[in-house]
Chains A and B, each alone.
Chain A
Amino acid sequence: MRRAFRWLLAACVAIATTSAALAADLRPLVQTMGSGGYAGTEKALNQLSEAGDPAAVPVIEALQAGDLYVRKADGLVVIARKAGAGFALTDPLSGAVVGEAAAGAIDKIKINNALRRSISATLGALTLMSPDPATRRSAAEAVFKSRDANALDALNTAIAKEKDERIRRVMEQARAAVILTAGASEVDTQAAIATLTARGDRDALALLSMIAASGATDALKTAAAGAVAAVEQKLMFWGALQNLWYGLSLGSVLLLAAIGLAVTFGVMGVINMAHGEMVMIGAYTTFLVQQGLRTYAPGLTDLSILLALPAAFLVSGGVGVIIERSVIRWLYGRPLETLLATWGLSLALQQAVRSLFGPTNREVSAPSWMSGAFELGGLTITYGRLWIVVFAFAVFAALLVALKRTWFGLSIRAVTQNRPMANAMGIRTARVDALTFGLGSGIAGLAGVALSQIDNVSPNLGQSYIIDSFMVVVFGGVGNLWGTLVGALALGSLNKFLEPYAGAVLGKILVLIFIILFIQRRPRGLFALKGRAVEA
């Protein structure tokens, strides 16, 4: 009995000492992370990775986040987080509070790309058994990328334990990647090739082509070459779809930029060279709204884009009304003078914005729901572009309804079709003119909100869209909204179809030549208006 107790005691002591020994093993390693520059940190990280103790995870995570510091006074490695004017220091292993320090008293442990890679590889190997499924999944993806042979044992254990089908599949793919990189028996390698063929994306392709080029045996090489062909074929199909999406996305940007012009130029017949500047003003309004929210209501910053929509519509629309009242109404029926005057106006507006906001770009950050991308089959679709496509069609639909279904739209159509008659019927044509121009400019402002997400918010923003906008409107058919829609999507797709073959520069030139030839054949564009209104 006594003996048994002694055994038990001894076992307890042994367990206690080993866990203490482990922590003690890590501590000197953690301590060396701060010395020797990038190379020193890298070496310490590799040793942590070999030790394979999950206790190191918080340390490595802090290193990744840039929170790991060295206290200058005694060289102690600590986690430092901003607290008031200085930093609050905690022990990286135990999490115990160490004290506080001023910003000058601690040195950040810097990381570079090579270290960032090692960090995600190490974290991946150490968090494969994490209780959180999302962490396990990203750990498996990290190991897939790093192909770290050290992680193989951990992977095998994790695969045996994993309950979630999808996570297990990623883990198996990661194991296949490790096996292909490190080398294994013929049977295992064949199985790995099959696993990766099933994955069938670009990363898998990269690994498979490596084996196809430098496999151990000829049988492996042929198997890999076959897999490469299969994956490539699949990717080609998705590539074509992806190109179609790019075309749709570029088309929707063109549609947004051109749709306001379809009102001012298409419906009213005003050659408005300052149209691009209305877009630019919309983008700057977005910037101002975002700045305002950042200062006064930081919680709402994610909604700034939505709040900027009405603001940009009103600001650009208001500027449009002022321009119509002050300049354009004196120039109706004289296209050449309108062209010159609005061109001068566009330069003046650009320089005004340049003086007001400075010549440098302004940052409009993307809200969280517009950042990043998701995978749809083999397609990569970025949220920002997706929302812009949705938005472009919504604006188009709204404008269509406004023109066809409202009294205001009716007056616009009446005035543009037969001004004296509309006047005789009691429509105040001058006011309708101003409001129509304001509507077109306001829509340009809405385009500015969207473009602030993908382009520079700089005084030159509008310039780069004015030519494209005119091209779309003229190609689609002046005065026809549906023509603008079809024109924008057609030119966008054509551009994206040509780009991979001809390059971006030649692609643009080819599109331009195509439009010139097209206009020669059909001077009134795709959907020409017919009837007496056109002749008038």
Chain B
Amino acid sequence: MRHRMTGRVATFGISALAGLAMGAIAGSAQAADDTIKVGILHSLSGTMAISETTLKDVMLMLIDEQNKKGGVLGKKLEAVVVDPASNWPLFAEKARELLTKDKVAAVFGCWTSVSRKSVLPVFEELNGLLFYPVQYEGEESSRNVFYTGAAPNQQAIPAVDYLMSKEKVQRWVLAGTDYVYPRTTNKILEAYLKGKGVKDEDIKINYTPFGHSDWQSIVADIKKFGSAGKKTAVVSTINGDANVPFYKELGNQGVKAQDIPVVAFSVGEEELAGIDTKPLLGHLAAWNYFQSVDTPINAEFIKNWKTFTKNDKRVTNDPMEAHYIGFNMWVKAVEAAGTVAPDAVIDSMIGVSVPNLTGGYSAMLPNHHITKPVLIGEVQENGQFETVSKTPGLVPGDEWSDFLPDSKDLISDWRKPLSCGNFNVKTGKCGGKGS
């Protein structure tokens, strides 16, 4: 009996797999040769689906719009969507599949740093192109990756500067989820704050597991830390689902933005959609884009997005803008190179400049990061952010942080003849540390 049952389960599993494989084959069979394929590598199931599904949708919209304008190099674009299911090793497998089987010209994808680290060797081995749209911890520069999200100096440092100068904050709680992005960002911030003369006892670092849901004692602890007679702020690198219970607890315990402001690097319009924002009025976020930014190009983008998703309530957010910039840069670089061959496109990407949604132009730098304005916004009752500060000019992305001893001598420049992602200016050698 037991054997028969196991057999049945196995048969079911195999037939399900076969079904999936058939689907994939059928999908690729429809593809004609006169199209350019673009890979979309975002989780559509599992924990990260909450954030990444939106990015898949925005890519489909951008590709659709480009096709309406006549495609690229006279060919239509064709989206190849795969689902890495929030499973990091599966990201690498799916990336390999996109590059070898589907032979896509470029891949737009990944959210978490661990998924990016997982696909990095695949893109380098197969010489593919990856556009990574999320703010991240830096300390990386690969020839095959274009980082369109913010580096720490385009988000974290300006946010801390704002709090120091405008809110006169002297005491800092650095609260984050326990993984590489918050840990590296907090390391950079700690070094930066100490450089500004903040004492050890005025910095408190706190890490919580993914999906942490009971914030009572941590919020109480923050209140306690904040009652030492100095203005206190929380810098939050709390990621994903844990944010909703965190903000609910802040609201319930009456931690008001006037007293202890919380500035978040991973909370955007999409995350606020699940929270009642009335108690959060005035808490802050630092991004390079807000939906509330009042420019004609942004108004058009929002209109198109709502039409495309057929949902008037859908919000836009910063990583979506990063994909918007990255995709337009890729189109421009391909048209300049006249081919989709990776080497030619990689070379012509540097220096490409396209409009961003906040009313300026973003350019691709030799270190494969881009220039962006930095915006600080306060949460409003309607779940949107009101910009309260914007950097006067564009901030160039700095891949190797100047505030970490390991990386302060490193630079990245992918232009020939240097062509190096980690050139050590002290020793004059390529390949100091990192990838």
Binding site for B on A (CB under 8 A): 38, 66, 110, 112-114, 116-117, 120, 145, 202-203, 205-207, 209-210, 213, 239, 242-243, 246, 249-250, 253, 331, 334, 337, 340-341, 350-351, 354, 358-363, 365-366, 371-373, 380, 382-385, 453-460, 463-464, 495-496, 499-500, 503-505, 508
Number of A-B contacts (CB under 8 A): 152
* B227 and A458 contact, CB distance less than 8 A: no
A365 to B221 CA separation, bound complex (whole angstroms): 25
* A116 and B274 contact, CB distance less than 8 A: no
**Known contacts being A337-B5, A500-B221, is A380 close to B253, with CB within 8 Å?**
yes
* B254 and A372 contact, CB distance less than 8 A: yes
A384 to B9 CA separation, bound complex (whole angstroms): 44
* A210 and B229 contact, CB distance less than 8 A: yes
Interface 1/0 per residue, B254-270 and A, CB below 8 Å = 10011101000000001
Binding site for A on B (CB under 8 A): 2, 5-6, 9, 44-47, 49-50, 53-54, 166-167, 178, 206-209, 211-214, 216-218, 220-221, 223-224, 227-229, 241, 244-245, 248-249, 251-254, 257-259, 261, 270-271, 273-276, 279, 281-282, 284, 378, 381, 386, 388
Q: Which 7 A-B pairs have the closest CB atoms?
A: A361-B274, A202-B227, A210-B229, A359-B49, A382-B252, A206-B229, A504-B208
Query: Of B44, B216, B241, B381, which is in contact with the most chain A CB atoms at under 10 Å from its CB?
Result: B216
Starting from the known contacts A116-B257, A371-B279, A382-B249, 6 additional A-B residue pairs (CB-CB under 8 Å) come to: A113-B258, A246-B214, A337-B2, A363-B274, A456-B244, A458-B50
Given the complex, which residues of A lie within 8 Å of B220, measured CB to CB?
A: 242, 246, 380
A504 to B214 CA separation, bound complex (whole angstroms): 10
B167 to chain A: closest CB distance in Å?
A: 7
A302 to B281 CA separation, bound complex (whole angstroms): 22
Given the complex, which residues of A lie within 8 Å of B53, measured CB to CB?
A: 358-360
A458 to chain B: closest CB distance in Å?
A: 6
* B223 and A499 contact, CB distance less than 8 A: no
Given the complex, which residues of B lie within 8 Å of A373, measured CB to CB?
A: 252-254
Among the listed B50, B54, B167, which residue makes an inter-chain contact with A361, where contact means beta carbons less than 8 Å apart? B50
**Known contacts being A38-B388, A114-B167, is A454 close to B45, with CB within 8 Å?**
no
Given the complex, which residues of B lie within 8 Å of A207, measured CB to CB?
A: 229
Is chain A's interface secondary structure helix, strand, loop, or mixed overall? helix
Given the complex, which residues of A lie within 8 Å of B2, measured CB to CB?
A: 334, 337
* A354 and B45 contact, CB distance less than 8 A: yes
* A363 and B47 contact, CB distance less than 8 A: no
* B207 and A385 contact, CB distance less than 8 A: no
* B258 and A361 contact, CB distance less than 8 A: no
* A454 and B213 contact, CB distance less than 8 A: yes
Given the complex, which residues of B lie within 8 Å of A363, measured CB to CB?
A: 273-276
Q: What are 29 A-B residue pairs whose CB atoms fall within 8 Å in the complex? A: A38-B388, A112-B378, A114-B167, A116-B257, A116-B281, A239-B224, A242-B220, A246-B214, A249-B216, A340-B9, A341-B9, A354-B45, A354-B49, A359-B44, A359-B50, A361-B50, A363-B273, A363-B276, A371-B252, A371-B279, A380-B220, A380-B253, A455-B244, A455-B245, A458-B274, A499-B218, A503-B206, A503-B207, A504-B209
**Known contacts being A205-B227, A360-B50, A455-B244, is A113 close to B261, with CB within 8 Å?**
yes
A249 to chain B: closest CB distance in Å?
A: 6
Query: Of A145, A360, A365, A385, which is in contact with the most chain B CB atoms at under 10 Å from its CB?
Result: A360
A24 to B401 CA separation, bound complex (whole angstroms): 56
* A464 and B213 contact, CB distance less than 8 A: yes
**Known contacts being A205-B227, A209-B228, is A460 close to B47, with CB within 8 Å?**
yes
* A361 and B244 contact, CB distance less than 8 A: yes
Given the complex, which residues of B lie within 8 Å of A209, measured CB to CB?
A: 228-229
A249 to B245 CA separation, bound complex (whole angstroms): 14
B389 to chain A: closest CB distance in Å?
A: 9
Given the complex, which residues of A lie within 8 Å of B245, measured CB to CB?
A: 454-456
* A360 and B209 contact, CB distance less than 8 A: no
Given the complex, which residues of A lie within 8 Å of B49, measured CB to CB?
A: 354, 359, 459
* A112 and B241 contact, CB distance less than 8 A: no
